[in-house]
Amino acid sequence: MDTGLIEQVRRFNRTVTQRLGALDEAYLARNRPLGQCRLLWEIGPDGREVRELRARLDLDSGYLSRMLRALGAEGLVEVGADPVDGRVRMARLTAAGLAERAELDRLSDELATSMLLPLNGSQRDRLSAAMAEVERLLAASMVEVAVVDPASPDARHCVDAYFADLAARFDNGFDPARSNPAEDAELTLPHGMLLVATLHGQPVGCGALKLRRPDWAEVKRMWVSPTVRGLGLGRRLLAELETRAAARGVRTLRLETNQALAEAIGLYLAAGYREVPAFNDEPYAHHWFAKTLAG
């Protein structure tokens, strides 16, 4: 990695943490550090599952428990079983916690205003645009991609969302029973694999391989959640599939797609896939593509 880029990131981190007051033991003069203030905000007025808090904030379970105990000792948070599912632990704000969260919101608005006031209109626009871009790129850097069991809840969520997306976008809808299958067994090694992308513990994308023969494979189940589109996740998933396929000796990747999926077609063309004659009888396909992988 370029050492200049690394130093730029570190310099940016130092500037941001200082300007936001993240170094203060009493963030926003509320006698608690930034982490506990953020946790109050994430719990929110309706409460939140402890496991979801852990995933959303990327926190170690032990550290999160200590923060919850500290906030509980202040009378701001209560942790208990979910009345609907007793196996689930819920964190909820007390009346004092709700009042404290409202005060943190007010002070956070003041902090943001203090950052904008010294700037002129043009500078404010530039800062806002730069922050939005940094936020998107940081989100992209936090996405994790891994091979998963096709029967896992995250995998089911992605495939169900993929089918729903196709049904909404295709001219005559989409029926998985009519489409060429990609069964769980076909997406499990050694016959294939399914990648799932997660952000803050939530599934946000997937892509799969069917390893047809030693020298070629099919790309299947390419889907990215609307919540993260534009972050380059589709290209990342495709590149990961290509890398894993090449590592298994695959020389050619093939895929088919529907004419309604213009973004997917653009992705495949930009990634070096070329249109080829139909190689299967997929009833929902209008275009077939192939790519020769590097050795």
Does the residue 123 lie in any domain? no
Considering the domain architecture, whether residues 208 and 269 belong to the same structural domain is answered as yes
Considering the domain architecture, whether residues 94 and 165 belong to the same structural domain is answered as no
Beta-sheet pairing, 252-257 with 216-224: parallel
Considering the domain architecture, whether residues 161 and 58 belong to the same structural domain is answered as no
Give the end of a domain, one of 83, 101, 118.
Answer: 118
Does the residue 133 lie in any domain? no
Does the residue 131 lie in any domain? no
Q: How many angstroms separate the CA atoms of 237 and 257, rounded?
A: 16
Q: How many angstroms separate the CA atoms of 182 and 165, rounded?
A: 17
Low-confidence ranges of the chain (pLDDT < 50): none
Considering the domain architecture, whether residues 113 and 181 belong to the same structural domain is answered as no
Give the end of a domain, one of 118, 151, 168.
Answer: 118
Considering the domain architecture, whether residues 95 and 180 belong to the same structural domain is answered as no
Does the residue 178 lie in any domain? yes
pTM across the whole model: 0.85
Does the residue 127 lie in any domain? no
Three-state SS sequence of 204-265:
EEEEEEEEEECCEEEEEEEEECHHHCCCCHHHHHHHHHHHHHHHCCCCEEEEEECCCCHHHH
Q: Coil, strand or helix: which one is 50? A: helix
Tell me which residue range forms the domain holding 203. Answer: 143-292
Q: In this predicted structure, what is the pLDDT of residue 288?
A: 98
Q: In this predicted structure, what is the pLDDT of residue 295?
A: 65
Give the end of a domain, one of 101, 118, 135.
Answer: 118
Considering the domain architecture, whether residues 41 and 109 belong to the same structural domain is answered as yes
Cα dihedral 31, 33, 36, 42 sign: positive
Considering the domain architecture, whether residues 57 and 149 belong to the same structural domain is answered as no
Considering the domain architecture, whether residues 89 and 219 belong to the same structural domain is answered as no
